[in-house]
Amino acid sequence: MSGFKTGNSAGGVMLSYHRETAPEYVINAPPGDFELTRGHTGTSIRHYIEASVAKAKEKGVVVEVEADHVSVSVSSEAVKRISGGGTHRVLSEEEVRSALKYIEDEIREAVSTRNIYFYTIDTCDLIDYSSEKIAVDELRTVFKDLYPASLIERYKDINVVVNGTRIRFDEEKVMRLSLKLMRSIDVSERIYRIIKEMTPWPFGIEIAFDETPVTTDPHELFFVLNELRTRGIPVDFIAPNVGFQKREDFTGDLETLHSRVKTLHEVASFFGSLLSFHSGSGSSPYSMKGKGVHDIIRRAAGGLFKYKISGVYFELLMQLMSRSDIPSVRRLYEEIYDAVIELLEDQVKRKGELYDEVLVKRLEEHRKKSLNGYVRDSESPVFRYYSFLALNIRRNGERYLRNAIVELYLEDKGFREQVDREISALTVAFLDSLGFRGNVRLLR
C-alpha cells in the first residue's frame, strides 16, 4: 500500500480464488482434505479482503479488492501451467457442477465482507481445441445437433476492420468457434448469474481468456465478447493471450507485440471493453517483463489497460532473506528452501498432484548444481516457481513456515523496515514503468 501512496496511484489487490486464497473452511481444514495448492497462502477470502480494506484506509490510498480468477479449474493443473507444464484437459460436467458449487461458497464469503466490487471469471479450461481438427462434414453435423442456424446468421453481416485486420465470419469459422468456445462462454454466463444473484450492489467483470496454449486470434476475441454481450453480460476488461509466459520475460519481437496488442485493443474497444494483461511478472521482480515491453503495451492500448502481476513480492522476499546477514533470517530462508525441495521430491516420488516432466527436469537441474555442495539459490527455477508452496506446508497441522515468516516480520523491526521499503520501491517501479503513477487524479 505504501507504494501506491508514494506513487499517488490507485491500484488493485487480489489473490486468485482457485489457488492463492479460499473460503475459511478450506483454510481451516486439516492437511490433505483439499489440494495442496488450493488456498496455498493460508489466507482466507474474508481475511484478505478485510485486511486489504483496513490497510488501504490506514494508508489513505484508493484500491479495488478483486475476486481474481473465479475459475472452473483444477488448482494443481493451474499451478503446473504457471511453472511451464500442465495440460489443457477439458473438464467433465460433474467437475463443472462441483466447481460452480465451490464458486458459490467463494462469492458468499467475499460478499459477506461488503467490500467486493469486481470479479474476474475464468473458464479457459472449458475451451475445446479438438474442434480445430474436425473435418468440415463432421463439423457441420455436430454443429447442427448443438446450435440453431440463427447463430450463423448472427455473424453473416459482420465486417469490421481493426488495425488493418478484417474481422469477418464465414459459416465454417462460426461453426468452429462455436464448438471451441461456446461451452466456456455458457459457463461464464452461469458464473456471472451466480455473482449477480449474490452481490446486491453494482460490480465490474473481467473475463480471463489468456489460459490458452497460443496467442488470441482477433476473431476469437470478437466472438467471445459478442456472445457475452448477446447474453447481457457487461465486460469491463478481457485478458487475451498476447504471448506472455508466466514468470518469464517476453523475448519475442516488440513490433509484432505492438501490432497484436493494438488489434486486440481495438476489438475490445468495439465492445466498450479494455484489455487486461495477465502473466505480467517477469524473470525477476524488477525485469518488468523485458526491456521495452511496458512501453509497447502502453502505446498499443492507449494507456488504458489493467496489468496483473503474481508472485513477485514473495519472490522478492525470498531474495532478501537469502542475502540477509542476520543469522535468524538466513536460517529461516534455508529451512524454507529445504522444505520446498523435500516436498517436491516427495511429489515426484509418489507422482502427486504436482508431478509432471517439468518438475522432474527442474529437480534434476537442482541436483546437478548441488554436486559440489548443496545450493540454496533463490533464483533457481525449481525454487522460484514453487517457493510459494512453503506457505502451505504443515507440521502438526500448522503452517509453521508461514507462521515463522509472519513472526519474523512482526518482531524484527529492522527486517520489517527493509521488507516494507523494498516492496514499496518495487511497486513504484511498476507504476512508473506502466505509466500509472499519479493515476489517482483520474478518479477526482
Note the pLDDT tens digit of each residue in 248-257.
Answer: 999 999 999 9
Q: Say whether pLDDT at 360 is over 70.
A: yes
- The identity of residue 204, as a single letter, is G
CB 241 within 8 A of CB 214: yes
Question: Minimal CA–CA distance to 104: which of 195, 196, 21?
Answer: 195
Q: Are residues 168 and 132 in the same domain?
A: yes
For 16, 197, 208, 387, 432, the CA distances from 317, given in Å and listed in that order, are 19, 39, 28, 11, 21
pLDDT band at 371 (very low <50, low <70, confident <90, very high): confident
Grid cell locating 361: 527436469
Question: What is the distance, to the nearest Å, from the Cα of residue 22 to the centroid of all Cα atoms in its chain?
Answer: 15
| Structure confidence by residue, pLDDT tens digits, 379-433 | 999 999 999 999 999 999 999 999 999 999 999 999 999 999 999 999 999 999 9
CB 63 within 8 A of CB 1: yes
Grid cell locating 135: 473435418
Distance CA 56, CA 64 (A): 9
Q: Say whether pLDDT at 82 is over 90.
A: no
Q: Are residues 211 and 223 in the same domain?
A: yes
Identify whether 154 is part of a domain: yes
| Structure confidence by residue, pLDDT tens digits, 188-239 | 999 999 999 999 999 999 999 999 999 999 999 999 999 999 999 999 999 9
pLDDT at 441: 76
| Structure confidence by residue, pLDDT tens digits, 16-32 | 998 999 999 999 999 98
Q: Are residues 346 and 402 in the same domain?
A: yes
DSSP, res 435 = T
pLDDT at 73: 79
pLDDT at 90: 74
Task: Assign residue 15 the CATH number of its domain.
Answer: 3.20.20
Q: Are residues 18 and 93 in the same domain?
A: yes
Question: Minimal CA–CA distance to 317: which of 416, 238, 412?
Answer: 416
For 107, 252, 290, 300, 326, the CA distances from 255, given in Å and listed in that order, are 40, 9, 14, 10, 46
Distance CA 77, CA 23 (A): 20
Domain count of the fold of the chain: 2
Task: Give pTM, 2 decimals.
Answer: 0.94
Q: Say whether pLDDT at 444 is over 60.
A: no
Q: Are residues 287 and 156 in the same domain?
A: yes
Identify whether 273 is part of a domain: yes
Question: Minimal CA–CA distance to 439: which of 284, 237, 298?
Answer: 298
Q: Are residues 232 and 270 in the same domain?
A: yes
CB 325 within 8 A of CB 333: no
pLDDT at 91: 83
Provide Rg for the chain, Cα atoms.
22
pLDDT at 153: 96
Q: Say whether pLDDT at 44 is over 60.
A: yes
Q: Are residues 191 and 334 in the same domain?
A: no
Average pLDDT value over all residues in the chain = 94
pLDDT band at 77 (very low <50, low <70, confident <90, very high): low
Identify whether 426 is part of a domain: no
Range of the domain at 400: 314-421
pLDDT at 363: 95
Around Cβ 264, how many Cβ atoms within 10 Å?
Answer: 28
Q: What is the dihedral of CA 398, 399, 401, 406, to 10 degrees?
A: -100
Q: Are residues 158 and 243 in the same domain?
A: yes
Ramachandran region of residue 7, left (φ > 0), alpha (ψ -120 to 50) or beta? alpha
Question: Minimal CA–CA distance to 204: which of 264, 276, 106?
Answer: 276
Distance CA 258, CA 305 (A): 14
For 92, 240, 305, 434, the CA distances from 299, given in Å and listed in that order, are 41, 17, 10, 10
Grid cell locating 219: 476473431
Identify whether 116 is part of a domain: yes
Q: Are residues 115 and 76 in the same domain?
A: yes
Q: Are residues 45 and 67 in the same domain?
A: yes
Q: Say whether pLDDT at 138 is over 90.
A: yes
Q: Which residues contact residue 155 at a Cβ distance below 8 angstroms, ignoring those fewer than 6 apart?
A: 169, 173, 174, 223, 226
Q: Are residues 234 and 381 in the same domain?
A: no
Q: Are residues 102 and 177 in the same domain?
A: yes
**Which is more confidently placed, 386 or 375?**
386
